[in-house]
A and B are shown apart, each in its own frame.
Chain A
């Protein structure tokens, strides 16, 4: 793989004209966006507009058909791509948590750094315990996922991803399966992350969160970015009728 000459003043994630089809169905029809280091962006849009598909392309869970996605200067749409190296840099949290049910919370967090990054166990454990505190789950270290609430599981999943010390975090509707009370806990955790300078890409329906935390909001519909802007202007001065309709439905 070619060593990239990426520097932190260039976009951390840079998508250009990304196209993606599932068979005959074209889901992404030319998505372009840039995310700078330390930025938090939110992607919103109606169901089926390709938000999940796009975010999964960033860590190569979905291969793209054409266009380019650079993560720290590394081309994701490269047949020679070392996916494992890419995924060490990009953390991902899913709507359904996807914790490993046969491992305790702490083990869920520790496993990847030990097995994948081959780091020292004691060091990893220290870091994992610190992360457990950070996501406010003190005392739940030895609980199995089945013994935790949805919100708690989701925070373990965030900690599990953070344990790999990623440069970018992807969140795909991570609060969609939670009840309103626990949504707050999870959003608070993400908010703190963003404020600490973690680069975050979120797909979300939480408009309040997008308004307060995001640096930039993108609205997608049928595989294209219809409109985007900083939240201040985006939510008040949206021009496209599709954006307006969507916002009026959801706000």
Chain B
């Protein structure tokens, strides 16, 4: 076979898979994923803690349920910020990751080597550490052509979260391209398609389907990682909950409120996880 394919992978075996579930070959629903059982347990725990709290509460205080109800709009506002951060991060991370993933299958050896190294580095670095680096290393404003561009903390946090997303998506792209049988490349080659045409007209369109489930999986993991940005005091769900607890100053609210936030995440992420699994099943039959 001509050179077009042989150098598509640099270090295929060098995956120090910390975040294993993103691997394409791990297509079977794996144990770590959200199951209905997790939801039941979560809600049961929430109800239990609230009830126990209610029973023990001093009669003079407002009930836990009433307090939770009172703060719900504020908490939802914070949670909405988590979702906003997840949206922006997945968009940036996907675009950068697509470029990096294509770099990993480039015909140019240096581009391949650099892309592979960047991918492995950001894929295997702890998300929290990356977040810290971005927050403390990126200046709070930029001077560009005499215009000062402010860089608020939440944008830095978004960049910090986009980096691991980028690296993981880069692997998704590489894995999907490599999962396309050699015969497709050979057939295209023998029809006089250029390598670029083969990639864009034949290989990548077939990859979209294969990339969708792991990409959604990545999004769910990203969403669950967004509370990490509370370390810089961005007003997301974690921070909001902290503020509510500080305002109420009641220790019996601590567990119910964090449990409440946890349930919000579950309600948001669970349908995504189920949908991912159903897509995987559907595509597994077709491909």
Interface residues of A (CB under 8 A from B): 56, 59-63, 83-85, 87-88, 90-92, 94, 96, 98-102, 111-112, 115-116, 146, 157, 160-161, 164
Contact = CB atoms under 8 A, between A and B. Distances in A.
Given A83-B2, A112-B192, A61 B186 contact: yes
Interchain residue pairs A-B with the least CB separation, the first 3: A98-B187, A87-B192, A98-B183
Interface of B: 1-2, 181, 183-184, 186-194, 197, 201-202, 205-206, 286
A102 B206 contact: yes
A62 B1 contact: yes
B183 A115 contact: no
A84 B2 CA distance: 12
A164 B190 CA distance: 11
Given A62-B1, A94-B183, A111-B201, A116 B192 contact: yes
Contact of A160 (B2, B191, B192, B206): B191
A232 to B, nearest CB: 32
Given A111-B201, A116-B197, A146-B286, A91 B190 contact: yes
Nearest to B189: A61
Given A61-B2, A111-B201, A87 B206 contact: no
Dominant secondary structure at the B interface: helix
B190 A115 contact: no
A198 to B, nearest CB: 16
15 contacts: A56-B1, A62-B1, A84-B192, A84-B194, A87-B189, A91-B190, A92-B187, A92-B190, A94-B187, A98-B187, A99-B187, A111-B201, A112-B191, A116-B192, A164-B192
B2 A63 contact: yes
A104 B229 CA distance: 47
A102 B197 CA distance: 15
Contacts of A160: 191
Given A84-B192, A88-B192, A146-B286, 18 more contacts: A59-B190, A61-B1, A63-B2, A83-B2, A87-B189, A87-B191, A92-B190, A94-B186, A98-B181, A99-B187, A100-B206, A102-B205, A112-B192, A115-B193, A116-B191, A116-B192, A160-B191, A161-B191
B2 A115 contact: no
A165 B153 CA distance: 61
Contacts of A157: 187
B97 to A, nearest CB: 22
A83 B186 CA distance: 13
A61 B192 contact: no
